[in-house]
Amino acid sequence: MIRSPNLLYRLHIDAPLLGAVLVTAALGLVVLYSAADQSIDKVMQQGLRILLGLTCMVAIAQVPPRRLARWAPALYVLGTFMLVLVLFIGHGRGATRWLDFGVVRFQPSEIMKLAVPLTVAGFMADKVLPPTLKTTALALAVVGVPAFLIIDQPDLGTAILVSASGLFVLFFSGVSWRFIRNAVLAGIVALPGFWFTMHDYQQQRVRTLFDPSQDPLGTGYHIIQASIAVGSGGISGKGWLNGTQSHLEFIPERATDFIFAVYCEEFGFLGVLILLVAYSLVLVRGMRIALEAQEMFGRLTAASLTMTLFIYIFVNMGMVSGALPVVGVPLPMVSYGGTSFVTILTSFGILMSIHTHRKFIAET
Amino acid sequence: MSRRGLKRLPALKDANRERRLFANRVLVAGVGMVVLIGLVLARLVFLQVVNHDHYTTLSHENRLKILPLPPPRGLIYSRDGTLLAENRPSFALTAVPENVPDMEAALHELRGMLNLSDDELEQFRKQLRYSRRFEGVTLKGDLTPEELATFAINRFRLPGFAVEAGLARHYPQGEAFAHVVGYVGRISETDLQTIDQSNYAATTHTGKMGVEKSREQVLHGRVGYQKVEVNAQGRILRVVERTPPTPGSDIYLTLDAGLQAEAIAALGNYRGAVVVTDPNTGEILAFVSKPSYDPNAFVNGISRALYRDLSTSPDRPLFNRALQGQYPPGSTVKPLVALAGLQYNVRSADKTTWCPGWYSLPNDSHQYRDWLKTGHGPTNMKFSIAHSCDVYYYTLAHELGIRRLHEMLARFGLGSITGVDIPGEAAGLLPSPEWKKRARKQPWYPGETLIVGIGQGYMLSTPLQLAYATGIVATRGEALIPHFLGQIENPVTEETISPDIYRRPRVELANPRYWDEVIAGMDEVVNGATGTAHKTSLGAPVRFAGKTGTAQVYGIAQGEKAKTTGVPEHLQDHALFIAFAPVDAPQIAISVVVEHGGGGSKTAAPIARRLIDHYFKGAAVSTASFAPHAEHEAPPAPVPADSPAPAAAESAPTPTEEPDPHD
């Protein structure tokens, strides 16, 4: 029994999670300074974004989980509506991801990264678990609609993250293994069909994954150069600001999606282990919050958001080290760029809300 | 921590079972995460530990950088070989920051020398911050010869600054072809999403409008690259290997530069559009929208002030009238309505309708007026086309009904895009009861059918559509899709590719003689003694057929120039004329739309005549009596009404001149 929660707890902030996030973000700023060619401007900008993200995190942590569950469907409908809107009036003829509201340019798919797991979790929490086939099918539809709208933009990376966040809720709600197995088998059968719906550039990315030399100026170049950066880093790395691959501009997008290559080159395998420890602290804390949640909604949301964060980490590290195709997923809390950072910190805010709004029986 | 405080869940839910199930899944997820991270770690061990030496060697030898080389963009020519789009050497002033001892002082000096704007300086300072000390940063692109000279003289005082040469797109014909050729512009963030980024690695510009946009893939070519050796600081030491870029292919358009120039001159100061096609192939020979704009202004980013001027000008120079201008076709639609009457057996060619000058629907007192108040009297089909009798077409449209009318006009492409090969085409509007219900939420009134019969009301068509429909009539049913792409030529091998010609299914009529009846009417418009455009035929090099049209101006346009005649110009009707020549074996189909030009016979028909003269000029020269610029003021030809044509036109030899050297 927690008798007198400390100040942070009363502010609905979970200290262990906050600590782990700050450690990871600090590592991120250190490597960003190197990746951005020692531009203090960029580091300051990223710092401001972290502050913005932390503000969002603290703000959302004040909202009790039940209210989140109540708001989620509305947020989901709004987000889907905006995704449809993007199809028609979005910015950019090729890839339309942004809505322009005059002052703010806005990417509705980011909303869906939170709205989808919250909505599906809210939906599942009321049902008898494990879910029936009908419930599962409905939940799949809720995940599928925004996922296809986002693939259509086209933004494969975000589509993967959004659908993963929803599917994990299903997984944690206890969908039967038989169903999962059948779904995976169906997926494998449908794979060739999916191939033909992919955009040319996406097909190209998969092809060059298997033969990077096919495209020495484009994606293949990314993969080859990133592998050299990672490999030449060795066990202990070349040292901060000493990465030749990074500083001679062999690594494209080295401050954003490929920042992990710079990290590997300069800090080596040991550095990677440190980063993984930092991430593990976040993941373990997230799962613990899920296990300690008192209501099904909280459990499903917390577990799904934690797993989504893991997917970020896994996909990004996988693509930088050449084990997965390049799909444009940032390294969470490290890659330069604002939107994903704010979304991730907001999802931590939700975890904190779940954890700090638990009810305790007073000792009367 | 106590668990007793759990909220009571619905009876059917077994909270303990669910919690166990959930904990079980968390365990599985945990194992999954460990396994997957293990895979990533294994990959990293493979790269960083096992193969570390290999990659270290690669990284040390990674002094070879691959620099992309831009392919030169294909050139664009007209069919007669006039250059429409070329690549000119252009010079940019760049600075290598580490070689500039005092940047601010240098900028201060250059500012006066090159008239640098605050915007340009701001842009440059921004770039400076993000670039490396030993790499050139562009201060000003596309220097004029004067600027080059000024800089050359002062260069000794400006260490670290240099002039770099490149290629820039240039349109030597300026605004004459702007609405067809379009222009290129800097690759924008949104372009980046659609283009093949490795092929465009060195390319700075991409097609934004017109042929430049629609044929981007042909014009661009393939990127080349060179491997260069760099030192540890990244400076280029030498070129190791060079794969030259594959230049983009050259394009010959179907446009004839002479005919285009003639059409521009013939339109004079009017706003409007002219389209000339070869109805046998679908080739577009002239395509003019006036006024036009200078595409060169867009290549390196148009200045905000100039763009504002262009886009807010009441003349709307950026608006492609020939492609996107939607005008009521007016009486030019009458030959098609007549064809519908024949096709559906509603009207035979010799049946006469009495025209008292107005028409009323049964049980309706509203009078639909003819343009001729006194009426045309007994009117058969040929006469109805030649004199553009409205009452004849009110009656015919009423008897046909909107459905059959709609069906026939749609077969001539009205209401749908022609499929021309530049982007942005407008579809016009061919109204139907379904359309009105959908768009206006109103039922269709019988009176509206009458108005469609004379090409007014809701009906809208583009000049390109009118030329297409005219071509179908001229060739008695051949529906060739109009296009600009004449030929593609590989500049290296000089191999040429002629693109396929696309045609829609022939417009078949129940009896092929129906074509003759309507064409006879269009012939009479021009060559009859009293046809609405009979003045136009005098001294023509070939016998041609046509139809005048006048489109009422509905909304008040923005132009504010008043004309001396008393009626303000912007309230005058649009003048239309469609034509094809020669009548027997058509080689060209023409549509002319003159905004606020008054009547079709007065302003539009003489323009078509000038184009026919130009196209068949070999013939025109041989008939010595012909005076090029006075024909529309000439008195009507003194020929009897039943005579088919003026003597001059009849004696003209059949033109055989083929203006296309590439086919």
ipTM of the shown complex:
0.91
Residue ranges of chain B assigned to CATH 3.90.1310.10: 68-253
Residue B48 has pLDDT above 70, yes or no: yes
Residue B252 has pLDDT above 60, yes or no: yes
What are the two backbone dihedrals, phi and then psi, of residue A269, each rounded to the nearest 5 degrees?
-65, -40
- Taking contacts as CB-CB distances below 8 angstroms, the residues of chain A near B23 are 291
When pLDDT is cut at 50, 70 and 90, the band that residue B9 belongs to is very low
| Per-residue pLDDT, B12 | 62
Min Cα–Cα distance to chain A from B458, Å: 27
Q: What is the mean pLDDT of chain A?
A: 85
Residue B469 has pLDDT above 60, yes or no: yes
Residue B27 has pLDDT above 90, yes or no: yes
Q: Is residue A2 part of a domain?
A: no
Q: Is residue A59 part of a domain?
A: yes
| Per-residue pLDDT, B47 | 92
Asked if A287 lies within 8 A of B59 by C-beta distance, the reply is no
- The gap between the terminal CA atoms of chain B, to the nearest Å, is 90
| Per-residue pLDDT, A334 | 93
Mean pLDDT for the stretch of residues B450-461: 92
Asked if A227 lies within 8 A of B55 by C-beta distance, the reply is yes
Min Cα–Cα distance to chain A from B27, Å: 10
| Per-residue pLDDT, B441 | 92
Closest chain A residue to B194 measured between Cα atoms?
A94
When pLDDT is cut at 50, 70 and 90, the band that residue A211 belongs to is low
Q: Look up the CATH number of domain B68-253.
A: 3.90.1310.10
Asked if A234 lies within 8 A of B52 by C-beta distance, the reply is yes
Highest mean pLDDT among A76-90, A234-248, B344-358, B614-628: B344-358
Residue B596 has pLDDT above 70, yes or no: yes
Residue B558 has pLDDT above 60, yes or no: no
Active-site pick, B78, B249, B292, B331: B331
State percent of chain A over pLDDT 90: 51
Greater confidence, A9 or B629? A9
How far lies B416's CA from each of B26, B38, B324, B412, B428, in Å? 59, 60, 12, 9, 7
Mean pLDDT for the stretch of residues B102-127: 82
Asked if B191 lies within 8 A of A215 by C-beta distance, the reply is no
Asked if A128 lies within 8 A of B66 by C-beta distance, the reply is no
Residue B565 has pLDDT above 90, yes or no: no
- Taking contacts as CB-CB distances below 8 angstroms, the residues of chain A near B22 are 129, 172-174, 290-291, 296, 299-300, 303
Between A and B, how many CB-CB pairs are < 8 A?
A: 180
| Per-residue pLDDT, B645 | 36
Min Cα–Cα distance to chain A from B481, Å: 27
Cα angle, residue B473 at apex, residues B468 and B477 outer, rounded to 5°? 95
Residue A281 has pLDDT above 70, yes or no: yes
Q: Is residue A233 part of a domain?
A: yes
- Taking contacts as CB-CB distances below 8 angstroms, the residues of chain A near B228 are none
How far lies A299's CA from each of A2, A135, A286, B25, B651, in Å? 20, 18, 10, 11, 95
| Per-residue pLDDT, B628 | 32
Give which of B358, B333, B446, B340 is closest to B400, Cα–Cα. Answer: B340
Closest chain A residue to B128 measured between Cα atoms?
A39
| Per-residue pLDDT, A339 | 80
Residue-wise pLDDT tens digits, B201-249: 888 889 999 999 999 999 999 998 888 877 655 667 778 788 899 999 9
- How is residue B508 written in tokens? 């078949």
B436 CB neighbour count, 10 Å cutoff: 17
Mean pLDDT for the stretch of residues B406-412: 95
Asked if A235 lies within 8 A of B13 by C-beta distance, the reply is no
Contact status, residue B87 vs residue B168, Cβ threshold 8 Å = yes
| Per-residue pLDDT, B494 | 85
Min Cα–Cα distance to chain B from A279, Å: 11
Q: Which of B146-155, B222-231, B281-290 has the lowest mean pLDDT?
A: B222-231
When pLDDT is cut at 50, 70 and 90, the band that residue A102 belongs to is very low
Mean pLDDT for the stretch of residues B27-49: 94
Residue B40 has pLDDT above 90, yes or no: yes
Asked if B55 lies within 8 A of A235 by C-beta distance, the reply is no
When pLDDT is cut at 50, 70 and 90, the band that residue B483 belongs to is very high
Residue-wise pLDDT tens digits, A243-279: 877 777 777 778 888 999 999 999 999 999 999 999 9
Residue A83 has pLDDT above 60, yes or no: yes
Mean pLDDT for the stretch of residues A134-147: 92
Min Cα–Cα distance to chain A from B524, Å: 50
Asked if B58 lies within 8 A of A235 by C-beta distance, the reply is no
| Per-residue pLDDT, A267 | 95
Residue A32 has pLDDT above 90, yes or no: yes
Closest chain A residue to B235 measured between Cα atoms?
A248
Range of the domain at A132: 7-363
Asked if B44 lies within 8 A of A221 by C-beta distance, the reply is no
Mean pLDDT for the stretch of residues A26-53: 89
Interface test with B, best of A126, A209, A228 (most B CBs within 10 A): A228
Burial class (CB in 10 A: 0-12, 13-18, 19+), B111: middle
3-state secondary structure B201-221: CCCCEEECCHHHHHCHHHHHE
Residue B425 has pLDDT above 60, yes or no: yes
| Per-residue pLDDT, B187 | 81
| Per-residue pLDDT, B656 | 34
Contact status, residue B63 vs residue B240, Cβ threshold 8 Å = no
| Per-residue pLDDT, B637 | 35
Mean pLDDT for the stretch of residues B410-433: 94
Closest chain B residue to A313 measured between Cα atoms?
B37
By residue count, chain A amounts to 364
Interface test with A, best of B36, B41, B192, B193 (most A CBs within 10 A): B193
Min Cα–Cα distance to chain B from A325, Å: 13
Residue A336 has pLDDT above 80, yes or no: yes
The Cα B555–Cα B533 span in angstroms is 27
Asked if B191 lies within 8 A of A94 by C-beta distance, the reply is yes
pTM above 0.80, yes or no: no
Q: Is residue A339 part of a domain?
A: yes
Q: Which of B22-31, B370-379, B496-505 has the lowest mean pLDDT?
A: B496-505
Mean pLDDT for the stretch of residues A4-8: 71
Give which of B92, B87, B134 is closest to B245, Cα–Cα. Answer: B87
Contact status, residue B429 vs residue B300, Cβ threshold 8 Å = no
B622 has catalytic annotation: no
- The gap between the terminal CA atoms of chain A, to the nearest Å, is 13
- How is residue B641 written in tokens? 């009404």
When pLDDT is cut at 50, 70 and 90, the band that residue A98 belongs to is low
Residue A207 has pLDDT above 50, yes or no: yes
Number of domains comprising chain A: 1
Residue B143 has pLDDT above 50, yes or no: yes
Mean pLDDT for the stretch of residues B358-387: 90
Cα angle, residue B595 at apex, residues B589 and B601 outer, rounded to 5°? 55
Q: Is residue A177 part of a domain?
A: yes
| Per-residue pLDDT, B192 | 76
Do the bridges between strand B137-140 and strand B83-95 make them parallel or antiparallel, or are there none, so unpaired?
Answer: antiparallel
| Per-residue pLDDT, B83 | 95
Does domain B257-651 fall into CATH 3.40.710.10? yes
When pLDDT is cut at 50, 70 and 90, the band that residue B314 belongs to is confident
Mean pLDDT for the stretch of residues B155-175: 87
| Per-residue pLDDT, B3 | 46
Q: Is residue A268 part of a domain?
A: yes
Residue B4 has pLDDT above 70, yes or no: no
Contact status, residue B600 vs residue B550, Cβ threshold 8 Å = yes
Interface test with B, best of A1, A42, A100, A129 (most B CBs within 10 A): A129
Contacts of B210 (CB under 8 A, 6+ apart): B178, B179, B180, B181, B182, B183, B422, B423
